[in-house]
């Protein structure tokens, strides 16, 4: 039995779920309360160092899934989306999380604009 590794709907679901989970944990005290509740409050200072890269790489997965769903127009976003996710992770840690909300909102908007671009490219391809 062969397994389809490029299931765009599943990738989109998991990517969006991971990004929303990471955003919720970054910008609310939800994860801090849970971690402190189980006796691991010493880790709360380090959560953002893991959550922001998780968020940006989940958005890279969303970009890949959107590209697959649109019928693969243009170059694959796997490499450049991962590079942008790594760069954003580095920058946000380097500037000590100062503009975290703005950078994260910009990343979500960029993925949304990419989705609109892919939708337009898909409809152009279907019209031909």
Distance of alpha carbon 94 from the chain centroid = 19
User: How much is the pLDDT for 55?
Assistant: 97
Sign of the Cα torsion 27, 82, 77, 7 reads negative
Distances 95 to 76, 81, 91 between C-alpha atoms, Å: 30, 21, 6
User: Could you tell me the two tokens for 95?
Assistant: 């500037």
User: Could you tell me the two tokens for 26?
Assistant: 């970054």
**pLDDT tens, 56-109?**
999 999 999 999 999 888 889 999 999 999 999 999 999 999 999 999 999 999
pTM: 0.88
User: How much is the pLDDT for 122?
Assistant: 81
Taking the C-alpha atoms of residue 31 and residue 110, their distance in angstroms, rounded to an integer, is: 26
Alpha helices in the chain (DSSP H): 8-27, 30-37, 47-69, 78-94, 100-127
> For the chain, what are the domain ranges?
8-121
**pLDDT tens, 29-43?**
888 898 888 888 888
Share of the chain above pLDDT 90, in %: 65
User: How much is the pLDDT for 40?
Assistant: 86
User: How much is the pLDDT for 1?
Assistant: 44
Neighbouring C-beta atoms of residue 9, cutoff 10 Å: 10
């Amino acid at each position: 039995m062969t397994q389809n590794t490029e299931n765009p709907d599943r990738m989109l679901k998991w990517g969006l779920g991971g990004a929303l989970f990471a955003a919720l944990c970054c910008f609310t005290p939800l994860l801090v309360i849970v971690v402190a509740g189980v006796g691991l409050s010493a880790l709360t200072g380090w959560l953002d160092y893991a959550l922001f890269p998780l968020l940006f790489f989940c958005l890279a997965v969303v970009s890949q899934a959107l590209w697959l769903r649109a019928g693969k127009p243009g170059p694959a976003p796997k490499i450049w989306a991962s590079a942008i996710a790594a760069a954003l992770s580095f920058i946000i840690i380097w500037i000590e999380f100062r503009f975290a909300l703005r950078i994260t909102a910009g990343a979500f908007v960029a993925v949304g604009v990419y989705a609109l671009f892919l939708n337009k490219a898909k409809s152009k391809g279907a019209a031909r």
